[in-house]
Amino acid sequence: MNTLEFLRQFRFSGYAIFDLVAALLGIYLISPLLSKLFLKIRIDIPKLNWLYLTLPIGILVHLLVGEMTPMTVDFLNIHDHYILKILTIGLLVLGLRNIKIRKKHKATNQR
């Protein structure tokens, strides 16, 4: 058993704790860069919002690349896992809450 398999064996409700912690830590570390990049296209996303959006973005990315993880499968299951669905939608709402679109500043004509 290699180190990654060892770390992924610890689970909470069937989901690997290591994967969730790694995703949150990764977003925490790159959130300043992501906020600056989005500010260049006039979208102000606070750094904390990236942490809230980690789980919804993760599920969306796994869907887009076709990697059906246990959490993605559980989220798509229409007959069960309502707590996961409520948590994910709640995190999405919290993550989108303080996002602002900045207006362009018009140059003033000074003579």
* pLDDT tens, residue by residue, 28-51: 999 999 999 999 999 999 999 999
Q: Is the pLDDT of residue 52 over 60?
A: yes
Report d(CA 75, CA 55) in Å as an integer. 11
Looking at the whole model, is its pTM more than 0.95?
A: no
Residue carrying structure tokens 């887009």: 64
Element (H, E) at 84: helix 82-97
Q: Considering only residues 96 and 106, tell me which one the structure prediction assigns the higher pLDDT.
A: 96
CA 43 to CA 104: how far, in whole Å?
11
Higher-pLDDT residue of 52, 103: 52
**SS3 state of residue 32:** helix
Other C-beta atoms lying within 10 Å of the C-beta of residue 56: 20
Residues 6+ apart with CB under 8 A from 39: 45, 102
